[in-house]
Amino acid sequence: MQTTLAQSVTFDGVGLHSGAPVRMVIHPAPSDHGIVFRRTDVSGVNPRIAALWDRVTPSKLCTLIENDDHVSVSTIEHVMAALAGLGITNALIEIDGPEVPILDGSSAPFVTAIRRAGLRRLPSALRAIRVLKPVEVRDGEAWARLEPAATLEIDFAIDFTDAAIGRQAKVLKMSNGAFVRELMDSRTFCRQADVDYMQAHGLALGGTYENAVVYDGDKVLSPGGLRHADEAVRHKMLDAMGDLALAGAPLMARYVGNRSGHAMTNRLLRALFADAQAWTWEDCSPAQVHSLPGAGVMRPVPLAAC
């Protein structure tokens, strides 16, 4: 069955890049609604933006979606990852600014609040997107690929010259609560030189050592150090989870990324949907639903009538 939240949840914070204060409320939504953002601070134009792959527009260092009236919301990847990781398929996200609050730089605050709100099953059947053949995109040494699989798997590798990051790789099947156990608390990261450059060019104005892991050569500058020895690659997997959620339905696929990022994952989804032979819709059986991300993580309240 499709799902939504049992009740609304509210988040107050600042945008990572804008530094502007923002309030965001995630509301329950009916069957077949999908994930939709609604800008409450705009008028005279359509304030709604569907969280879908074909609404992504080029943006530096984050995922940004925009509607036909050029109303946009950026840095959506962490909340999208939280919803996907908890198996939430329908929600209305109202936000009073152009950027999702960064909070602690991970998906953990979103996951915690949504789990507290509870899950509501909806009466409509759940459909997934099954990948039928490999699809790949490349850009120099970076590449990303989708391959057929029974449920979502993520295989990611990164390689940085900074000794504190270095080469990291991790593989996870995203079933049985793996996102909550393994990825949700891993924070966005950057190098000190990147921070200096971004802030000099009007970016990362809301970034702090508390909401991002900052590396400098062989040092971790953020107080308290790392949450995981391989927190960097875990966060890249978290980002991929959020960006893949823009497919609009759960993916039955293995995602393999090497030095990949937001833009490349979106290119990969565009390549997938451009090839009608590479994917198909599939009505999920109870066994398949049980293997998808989020299954068993939240206890549902009684069936919704919406």
DSSP string, 89-157: --EEEEESSSB-B-TTSSSHHHHHHHHHH-EEE-SSPPEEEEE-S-EEEEETTEEEEEEE-SS-EEEEE
Q: What order of strands is seen across the sheet that includes strand 219-220?
A: 189-191, 213-216, 219-220
In a domain, residue 101? The reply is yes
In a domain, residue 273? The reply is yes
In a domain, residue 7? The reply is yes
In a domain, residue 271? The reply is yes
In a domain, residue 127? The reply is yes
pLDDT per residue of the chain (306 residues) written in tens, 0 to 9:
999 999 999 999 999 988 899 999 999 999 999 999 999 999 999 999 999 999 999 887 899 999 999 999 999 999 999 999 999 999 999 999 999 999 999 999 999 999 999 999 999 999 999 999 999 999 999 999 999 999 999 999 999 998 999 999 999 999 989 999 999 999 999 888 888 888 888 878 888 888 999 999 999 999 999 999 999 999 999 999 999 999 999 999 999 999 999 999 999 999 999 999 999 999 999 999 999 999 888 888 764 444
For residue range 41-56, what is the model confidence (pLDDT) as tens digits? 999 999 999 999 999 9
Name the strand (E) or helix (H) holding 192. helix 192-200
In a domain, residue 76? The reply is yes
For residue range 192-222, what is the model confidence (pLDDT) as tens digits? 888 888 888 887 888 888 899 999 999 999 9
Longest dimension (CA), the chain: 55
Please tell me the predicted confidence (pLDDT) of residue 296. 85
**For the chain, how many structural domains are there in total?**
1
Please tell me the predicted confidence (pLDDT) of residue 305. 44
Instruction: State the sign of the Cα–Cα–Cα–Cα dihedral 136, 63, 82, 288.
Output: negative
* Angle, CA 225 vertex, CA 220 and CA 229 arms, to 5°: 90
8: tokens are: 């609304």
In a domain, residue 192? The reply is yes
CATH number at residue 40: 3.30.1700.10
- Single pTM value for the model: 0.95
Range of 122's domain? 3-301
In a domain, residue 177? The reply is yes
What positions carry a catalytic annotation?
262
Residue type, 92: L
Which of 235, 281, 279 is closest to 261 using CA atoms? 235
